[in-house]
Chain A
Amino acid sequence: MKILIIEDEKELADNIGNYLSSESYICEFANTFSKAIDKVDMYHYDCILLDIMLPGGDGMKILEELKKQNKQEGVIIISAKDSLDDKVKGLQLGADDYLSKPFHLPELAARIYAVIRRKQFGNVNLIEQNELTIDLLAKTVKVNGTEVILTKKELELLLLFIGNKNKVISRSALAEHLSGDIADMLENHDFVYAHIKNLKKKLGDAGCGNYLKTIYGSGYKWEV
């Protein structure tokens, strides 16, 4: 899977690349508008991360360019602006998702995973891992063919883990994934623990292997 990271902040781009590279992703970088346009013109990517505030041009133009060339790349806008207008405009121009800075890398990885799956599998979007089957469209989870009833939040957690296999995810990242902006307003991420416990129990009861591990007491990892 090839990913293009269009981001002028080198440190951040490196961090993203670093995190994604250890999965099956191959990352390329572009730190200016013209470099980004060149790469987009020449190569094909599975997903493009696009910072819309770029030196040398408006990132939105890249979206327009992609649309003009009728390219099918998934695009996730990453922006420091957190502006509703930008979000709406970006999505209208064909972006698949919008993530405002600062974000947790597991969150980004989960979104990349979701975008790529949507692009590649379209109508039949099934994630299969040993005895576990997740239908992304129907939002159902089966273990050995038997459906496990999960709450919305438990499912969201599961999907975050699936998109970040073998990665340690902090409680803070989980909290933000579940509650979005509200999470950090409560200054307390303990509520995550209850959801994790329930998810673990439901999967375990259905006969699913124990993939979900607690690491260092405060982080979690989906080990495959």
Chain B
Amino acid sequence: MRKLLNKSIRPLLVYALLIITLSIPVYFYIINKIWVSELDEHHKVTKQKIEKQFNSLNQQEPQLSETIQLWNILQHGVRIKSVDQSLVKPDRFYTNKRFDEYHNDEEQFRGLESYITINNKPYQVIIETNMEEVDETVIAVASVALGFFLLLLIGFIVLNRQLSGRIWKPFYSTMKKLESFDLKGNSDIKLDKTNTLEFEQLNQVVTNLINSNVSSYRQQKEFTENASHELQTPLAIIKSKLDLLLQNPALTKEQAQAVDDINLALSRASRINKNLLLLAKIENQQFDANEWINIGEMVNHDIDMLSEHLLSKHLKLEKNIPPNISIQCNRNLFEILLSNLLINAIRHSPENGIIKIELNNKMIIFSNTGLNALNPESLFKRFMSASSETPGSGLGLAIVKQICHRFNWQISYSFIHGAHSFTIEF
């Protein structure tokens, strides 16, 4: 993954490179053309000056020939030669390359071959000027272009860095806030104001989306909490009515049995209700985590509490619980976590099964004999009872999961060698 700005800068750089490369021959062509036409112009004027000055000297032979000879010696680059009238040709501009002893190198020259008339006699004038060679010009132009390209490159990179720091700041700030936002937390999201239209729109949309989510989440949570509260009272009335009914001496055995059955179902109803309330409270962060709990002590206490249930199902308990392992969390919640897992193991073990509890500094493992692997996807969901034979409240593991989430512990399920195993990593 690359940053957006890095993505946009690459085609820009490629385009800049292309244009600068294309500009090299163009520059060369234009420079060359200007140079050549300027030289030609200059040569032409020089020729006219020579013609005019020689004529104004008004010298006669042989003095003239001596002057021309002297000229040819002193004036390098302009040679004057007497020619026959029959050889007079129109002006010719040319470019040639030859060895130059002064430069001690092959040099390029622009020249003009022209004919002038001094004292009514034809003379040939050749004016030549050394000009830069093609390859040298190209190299010069190319290196200047490359230099500019490097400047562009550095400029782009520096600007890009500053832009991504400044222009994208609101975007990254929004991202960061969204990342750390927890729907279950009780805080609203507050995105920073920005003067970039797109980001402000994004923030608006995100804020609206989150606010509506938060409010529906709160409504749902409040509903659960209120509904559970409201249910407690009618449940209490039913329960007390049954206790009263049982005092009636006219009750038959069947009726008493019915009361017993109702009591059992009622227990379940109030357990579901209490669990829903508990879930809502954990989600509302109504539990602190400031106590140090000795895990071993608590596990042993739970085993003690449930010993008769282990006995009545003839379950074998294998435990490896070292003392002195403590953890910082909430006593109440940890108690619920442990008893839920232990009860779960008891309830879902077949008669004569084995329950194992393994504790060390990093994790606690509850495993129990079982027949088939459970679906780990739905295992921790609410009201997704994994087994139809032994119905529970359907909330036990959801609560376990929620408690683990509250303390940032990892819970995982596996089925190995005919045993269900729940591992909590602290």
Q: B-contacting residues of A (Cβ < 8 Å)? A: 9, 11-12, 15-16, 18-19, 22, 80-85, 100-106, 153, 167-173, 175-176, 179, 181-187, 189-191, 194-195, 215-219
Contacts and interface: CB of A to CB of B under 8 A. Distances in A.
Contacts of B242: 170
Given A168-B246, A168-B247, A218-B256, A182 B305 contact: yes
A104 B243 contact: yes
Interface string B376-391: 0000000000000011
Nearest to A19: B244
A164 to B, nearest CB: 10
A102 B244 contact: no
Contact of B239 (A18, A22, A104): A104
B396 to A, nearest CB: 7
Contacts of A12: 233, 236-237, 240
B274 interface: yes
A106 B274 contact: no
Nearest to A51: B233
Contacts of B343: 182, 185-186
Contacts of B263: 170-173
Interface in B288-330: 305-306, 308-309, 312
Contacts of B259: 170
B80 interface: no
B251 A216 contact: yes
Nearest to A108: B240
B277 to A, nearest CB: 7
A203 B381 CA distance: 48
A98 to B, nearest CB: 14
Given A80-B233, A170-B259, A190 B312 contact: yes
Nearest to B277: A82
Contacts of B256: 215-219
Contact of A219 (B239, B246, B340, B393): B246
Contacts of A22: 247
Given A167-B247, A219-B256, 7 more contacts: A15-B241, A16-B240, A175-B267, A182-B343, A184-B271, A216-B256, A217-B256
The B contact surface, by secondary structure, is: helix
Contacts of B161: none
Given A22-B247, A173-B243, A195-B308, A101 B236 contact: yes
A167 B242 CA distance: 13
A170 B236 CA distance: 15
A83 B259 CA distance: 29
Interface string B234-276: 0111111111101100011101110110011011101100100
A176 B305 CA distance: 12
A167 to B, nearest CB: 6
A106 B243 CA distance: 8
Contacts of B252: 216
A168 to B, nearest CB: 5
Contacts of B340: 185
B312 A191 contact: yes
A105 B244 contact: yes
Given A80-B232, A172-B263, A187 B237 contact: no
A81 B233 contact: no
A36 to B, nearest CB: 18
**Most B-side CB within 10 Å, residue of A16, A19, A170:** A170
Nearest first, the 7 A-B pairs at minimum CB distance are A216-B256, A184-B267, A172-B263, A102-B236, A80-B232, A15-B240, A105-B243
A181 B270 CA distance: 10
B346 interface: yes
A82 B239 CA distance: 17
Contacts of B243: 15, 19, 104-106, 170, 173
